[in-house]
Structure 1
Amino acid sequence: MVSSLPSTSKMLFVWATFSILVAVSELSRTKLEREALLQSGWWSNTTTANLTSDHCKWKGIICNKAGSIIWITLHNNETKRELHRFNFSCFPNLEHLNVWSDTLSGNIPPTITALSKLNYLHLSGNNLTGIIPKEIGSLRNLVTLDLSVNNLVGPIPSTIGHLRSLIYLSLEFNNLNGLLPQEIGNLKDLSSLSLRNNKLDGPIPSTLGHLTKLSILFLDSNQLNGSIPPEIGTANTLYFMELSSNKIQGTIPHELTQLTQLFFLNLSSNLLFGQIPTAIGRLYNLDHLELSYNKLSGPIPTGIGNCSNLEKLILSNNSLSGNIPVEIGKLQNLNLLDLRHNFINGTIPSQLGEMPSLTYLDISRNNLSGNIPNFLSGMSWMSFINLSYNHLEGEVDRYFINRYSLEAFIGNKGLCCEFCGLPHCTVTTLPATPPPNFNYKKKHRKTHILFVPVLTVPLLFAIIIAILCLFKRMKRDTKFNSTTTTTTKSGDVFSIWNFDGRIAYEDIIEATEDFDIKYCIGTGGYGSVYKAQLPSGKVVALKKLHRSESEEPTFNKSFQNEICVLSKLRHRNIVTLYGFCIHKKCMFLIYKYMERGSLFCALRNNGETSELNWTNRVNIIKGVAHALSYMHHNCTPSIVHRDISSNNILLNSELEAFVADFGTARLLNDDSSNRTIVAGTYGYIAPELAYTMVVTKKCDVYSFGVVVLEVLMGRHPQELLSSLSSSTDQNIMLIDVLDQRLLLPVDHTVVQDVVLASSIALACLHSEPRARPTMKRVSQVIDARRKIVPTPIHEITVAQLQKQEMFCVDDCDN
């Protein structure tokens, strides 16, 4: 009968039969997957008691439209799970497997290769044992492989070099041994490689130089030997390089100075010898340089002064000689200088007194000579000084010793002090007797006459600037006139008009015990921040300028700038300035205290992850957007912040965001070029500033985009930023970018908010400034009624968002 049917009918019959078979196969597949889930024991019986329930709705599971599982994420430690009980062959469509936080034990079976579509494997923080099977090299679609913080042993299989799509590889904190396979050099798209805290030995493969997209390299705390391969200098996208605590020998190759993107370099605790490369100054983006506990010799290169972004310089426990180069004084951002245990000689250069950010200085156990410079005792913001075991001489002020303890000065036979634990000063330590015709009183009086104007002029200048700013504010906005108050005897500093330095200063000194370090809650580019409870019970935050106005007038520019800018601003998402103090000993701003500190710290505190849920994160993004929109479009002239970063966004007890730190802010005038030196925090600065040096509102827009990604990812998006311009971003899924410590959003409104924020962030990061939206447009879009997201969140790619397929955030004005 079938044979008599027309050919068309035959085709329809075959197609119908095929469709039925496919449907039956899919039903069989989903049933097989559900059974495999139950047999794994990874889900509690209370969740899956009903075998007919939809397993796609189980915790941590996402399915495709056909009902097949593509995503598994589990990270609670209530249920102990065994990896070998999971039947990998039953999940041919699985793309994402994320099980972490001390829930998983057992070996990694070779059958894991059945997950042929897997692109994300994250089994970190468990109790996995055994070796990494060589079969793992068959997972050719892997983009992320994280087996860190387990108990894995044995070598890293050479087959790992087959994972050509890999961007992120972390095997840190295991017990792996053997050599680093040369085949790692085949991973041309690799952005992050972390093998720290294992027992790996042998040389560092020269093939690492092939990894031209590598941003992060962590090989520290192993037993690696041999020399640093010069080929590594060709990996010119390196941002973090950590090779400390190994047995690496030889000299520091000159080729390392070609890594001009380096932000962090640590080669400490090795067996390196020879001199520090003279071209070290090429690494102008360095924030942290640590070469301690080696056998380095020769002088400290003068080129170190070109590393203008350096904040920490640690060269201790070597055999360095020569003088402390005066060029170190150029490092205006340096807050830690550790040169102890070397053979450095000469005197302490006066240029160290020109470093406004320096809070930690250790130059002990060297061969330094001469007197202790007077400027050191005037650096009241210093939290630690150690000058012990040198050849220093002369009288030391008792107050100076009491501030840092006697141990900071011992071992210098020529030092003396009255009643402070050092030898008493004798007549021989005093200056020579003046000649008989020397009029001491006249000379002494003349000195004071000359000193007073030098002290007073910059002080008066700062006061005049502050008063002019405040007067301008009063003139522009008379409605605040009624809030002007007169300082009382107890010191009412809670008025923008109050600048009675004497009374405010006395209150603050009492509240902070003379700015004791225990009250310090942060240090910035030009000031330290203290928490203080005033006699009224009010808790405030104080930003104290690093250097006294009377000693160095140039350092008050940022102070005056912040007063001028903040006196113009009134917005619920901009930190409130209560008042300020200009005193001959110090200057400080008085802010409303933010209980939760900086956004940077909150994002990195795992204990606060549950509170920083998706809703709160979106609200933080909205708050910052509204503040910047107000500054750019509601102020005349417009105000550009120039240093938007997670460190400069503060959170109150309700996790509301407040933009802070206006020390580098700039008023934009239409008739000026707005050309400036580059200011801001590395990693947040708009790329065009490097060559145009022109400040625009679009510079803030770029920085805002970085912050938005940081909020959504839970970390700085350096890896993502480096891949956005390459073809690799075509394969990056949005869910792989989002903070893995949080479950994916389920509520439809929250999903829309997260997708919208992601789309806006990528639009703000456009390489062409004119293509970025204005903050006014961002603020409008983020508050507008959202479109329905047509695609499930687990199917959205970064490339789609980058093309703005989800939402239109195009520019609406200049």
Structure 2
Amino acid sequence: MASNLLEGPIPQEIESLMSLRDFDLSHNKLSGPIPTQIGNLSDLISLILANNNLSGRIPLQICDLSLGNLDLSHNFITGDIPSELLNLSYSIKIDLSHNLLQGAIPSQFGSLTHLSILDLSWNNLTGMIPEFPFSVENLNLSINSLRGPIPDGLLHFAPETFAGNKDLCGSIQGFLPCPSSPTVNQERNSKVRHDLHVIIMVPSLLFFVSTSALVIFILFRQYRAQALKSDPSPTKNGDLFSIWNFDGKIAFEDIIKATGDFDMKYCIGTGGYGSVYRAVLPSGKIVALKKLHRLEAEQPTYDTSFRNEIQFLTEIRHKNIVKLHGFCLHNRCMFLIYEYMENGSLFYALSIDEESMELDWTKRVNIVKGVAHALSYMHHDCNPPIVHRDISSSNVLLNWKWEAFISDFGTARLLDPDSSNRTVIVGTYGYIAPEHSYSLVVTEKCDVYSFGVLTLEILMGKHPGELLSTLSSSSPSSVQNVMLNEILDPRLSPPRSRKMAGDIAFVAVIAFTCLRAKPKARPTMKLVSQEFLHIKSPISMPLHEMSLIELKNHKMFMCDESHR
């Protein structure tokens, strides 16, 4: 039941499903505590409740299950991590990230010998990191309040594993060395003679080295603070982005302050890439900050996508493409700074009834036009052409005037005229052009197809997957008598004016034309953009008299090889 709009608490009656093995309620809007009755599901091996609004503590009853996968991430769960989790001796993955957990990491985690993924990031965990005698493959303890030395058994992990814990120390890049000396460690590990002088001198030496290291550390901090203080930076009261690419450290400090060191109260959205925050800068400008969670990605492709987005958005400018104000490539974290979009994503606006009512027919037609103009710019005004490869309602953002902006260029690609442009399949399921699935060749027509899906989604208020399957079937007679007005978003009143009805019919014809099976039969986005500059209704009749088959077969564009 994942990825729906389920609300309210998880019912206690769930305990009646005694044979349940996999329970996935992730990506909903569930609230309240996790019911203790889940502990009665003795056959349960996978519990996924991620990306909800669940609160309260982790029920101890869960610890009595033989779970192989426990994912409670991206909620508002409080309290400490139960030490009883050691009972999950056969667990492969435990993800408690992005919650409000406090206290120390239980040392009993060392008993989980089968664990391959442990993610405790983005909480408020305190204390020292316990020893992990087993070999966990993927570990994430970042963005907490942990302190003390990083255990020797964990020094092989990347620095990002521990980033955001300012009081940790160890021989890992980006962290201060712990207040001890290698010489002392060698002395401590060597065979010591049972001599009174040695017994007295070792504590003295330890005290001397520790004190010296502490003094050096304090002097270093004072020097660094003075250097930052004496730097005449215009970012404190001026335009942050005027020096954004020249002094990342100052920008980084401003962002840390504006987001409360990435406090969850500033978080306005999450995804596979990381989290998005709303930040008010010293100049008063409101921006959106997308922070990359590289360890969550578990693959270097996310880092590549991050840098790919920087490359494209710093080079292209269009009124319907989201503006990149700046970026930070700090060793502690990496983030992008965009102009703030008050109304969020188009997907969100269409999913929520109250928001969808704000999107009247005029706004929806304008959103389609805005996306078309932006894609036309990317395909025909950029040299070489840029293909987005992931046009979807989640990647279209809306400002306070409900104007559309294409975002997320992490998978965008330049079309090389001297290359086959073969690539792996990327994009959002349900928007990917069918030919890309078998040819693996990306062209502008892949974006054209995705645009067609998006356009129907805007008219219908939901993804048109079922309609597309019916229309593409060998016997589309089932929709022979389906009229255009029957598929329009029922939450909106039918268009009152004849002109608006004609505009909607025009948009529908364009959508069906962009969804043609053969790429060469689809129009170019330049042609679509030009047609939108002078909308002419293709059919002069009421919406309830326009059948989908007639619209699908309408000869608006005569597409051929010259339009590729």
Q: Give the TM-score normalised by structure 2.
A: 0.66
Q: Which of 736, 741, 745 lines up with 2:495 in the alignment?
A: 745
Contact 2:102-2:124 within 8 A present in 1 as well: no
Q: 1:507 to 1:319 in 2, by over 3 A?
A: closer
| Aligned match of 2:181 | none
Query: Residue 701 of structure 1: CA displacement?
Result: 1.5
Q: 1:300 to 1:784 in 2, by over 3 A?
A: same
Mapping for residues 539-550 of structure 1, pairs under 5 Å: 539-547=286-294
In 1: Cα distance, 2:335 partner to 2:5 partner: 37
Q: Deviations over 1:645-678 (max 9, x none)?
A: 1121111122111111111212221223333333
Q: 1:493 to 1:711 in 2, by over 3 A?
A: same
Whether 1:594 aligns to 2:341 is yes
Mapping for residues 206-285 of structure 1, pairs under 5 Å: 269=14, 271-274=16-19, 276=21
In 1: Cα distance, 2:286 partner to 2:275 partner: 17
| Aligned match of 2:165 | none
In 2: Cα distance, 1:723 partner to 1:590 partner: 42
Q: 1:727 to 1:658 in 2, by over 3 A?
A: same
Whether 1:761 aligns to 2:511 is yes
In 1: Cα distance, 2:13 partner to 2:437 partner: 31
Mapping for residues 403-418 of structure 1, pairs under 5 Å: none
Q: RCO higher in 1 or 2 (8 Å CA, sep ≥ 6)?
A: 2
Contact 2:273-2:293 within 8 A present in 1 as well: yes
Counterpart secondary structure, 1:762: helix
Query: Residue 585 of structure 1: CA displacement?
Result: 1.0
Contact 1:344-1:368 within 8 A present in 2 as well: no
Contact 2:66-2:90 within 8 A present in 1 as well: no
Q: 1:675 to 1:717 in 2, by over 3 A?
A: same
Unaligned regions of 5+ residues in structure 2, if any?
Answer: 127-131, 134-140, 148-184, 193-201, 210-231
Query: Residue 493 of structure 1: CA displacement?
Result: 3.2
Q: 1:504 to 1:678 in 2, by over 3 A?
A: same
Counterpart secondary structure, 1:688: helix
Contact 2:123-2:144 within 8 A present in 1 as well: no
Aligned residue pairs total 456
| Aligned match of 1:650 | 397
Counterpart secondary structure, 2:288: strand
Q: Which amino acid aligns with 2:522?
A: R
| Aligned match of 1:778 | 528
| Aligned match of 1:369 | 108
Query: Residue 370 of structure 1: CA displacement?
Result: 3.0
Counterpart secondary structure, 1:346: coil
Counterpart secondary structure, 2:262: coil
Q: Which of 224, 234, 245 lines up with 1:488 in the alignment?
A: 234
Q: 1:638 to 1:722 in 2, by over 3 A?
A: same
Whether 1:717 aligns to 2:456 is no
In 1: Cα distance, 2:102 partner to 2:438 partner: 38
Contact 2:365-2:504 within 8 A present in 1 as well: yes
Mapping for residues 89-104 of structure 1, pairs under 5 Å: none
| Aligned match of 1:400 | 145
Whether 1:503 aligns to 2:250 is yes
In 2: Cα distance, 1:268 partner to 1:676 partner: 48
Q: 1:323 to 1:269 in 2, by over 3 A?
A: closer
Q: Which of 709, 727, 730 lines up with 2:477 in the alignment?
A: 727
| Aligned match of 1:517 | 264
In 2: Cα distance, 1:767 partner to 1:563 partner: 33
CA RMSD of aligned residues (A): 5.1
Q: 1:524 to 1:495 in 2, by over 3 A?
A: farther
Q: Which amino acid aligns with 1:600?
A: F
Mapping for residues 12-27 of structure 1, pairs under 5 Å: none
Q: 1:702 to 1:487 in 2, by over 3 A?
A: farther
Q: 1:609 to 1:487 in 2, by over 3 A?
A: same
| Aligned match of 2:212 | none
Q: Which of 792, 798, 804 lines up with 2:542 in the alignment?
A: 792
Counterpart secondary structure, 2:512: helix
Query: Residue 580 of structure 1: CA displacement?
Result: 0.9
Contact 2:86-2:108 within 8 A present in 1 as well: no
Contact 1:629-1:779 within 8 A present in 2 as well: yes
Q: Which of 401, 408, 415 lines up with 1:661 in the alignment?
A: 408
Whether 1:435 aligns to 2:189 is yes
In 2: Cα distance, 1:503 partner to 1:518 partner: 23
Whether 1:683 aligns to 2:422 is no
Contact 2:431-2:450 within 8 A present in 1 as well: yes
Q: 1:361 to 1:772 in 2, by over 3 A?
A: farther
Identity of aligned residues (%): 46
| Aligned match of 1:346 | 89
Contact 2:324-2:338 within 8 A present in 1 as well: yes
In 2: Cα distance, 1:683 partner to 1:311 partner: 22
| Aligned match of 2:552 | 802
Whether 1:623 aligns to 2:377 is no
Query: Residue 540 of structure 1: CA displacement?
Result: 0.9
Query: Residue 274 of structure 1: CA displacement?
Result: 4.2
Contact 1:346-1:368 within 8 A present in 2 as well: no
In 2: Cα distance, 1:372 partner to 1:433 partner: 32
Q: 1:663 to 1:385 in 2, by over 3 A?
A: farther
In 2: Cα distance, 1:276 partner to 1:361 partner: 28
Contact 1:733-1:796 within 8 A present in 2 as well: yes
Q: Deviations over 1:246-303 (max 9, x none)?
A: 99xxxxxxxxxxxxxxxxxxx99263334738xx9xx9xx988x999665445747xx
Q: Which amino acid aligns with 1:675?
A: R
Q: Give the TM-score normalised by structure 1.
A: 0.48
Q: 1:707 to 1:499 in 2, by over 3 A?
A: farther
Contact 1:540-1:591 within 8 A present in 2 as well: yes
In 1: Cα distance, 2:111 partner to 2:242 partner: 42
Query: Residue 690 of structure 1: CA displacement?
Result: 3.2
Q: 1:609 to 1:371 in 2, by over 3 A?
A: same
Q: Deviations over 1:163-196 (max 9, x none)?
A: xxxxxxxxxxxxxxxxxxxxxxxxxxxxxxxxxx
Q: 1:296 to 1:724 in 2, by over 3 A?
A: farther
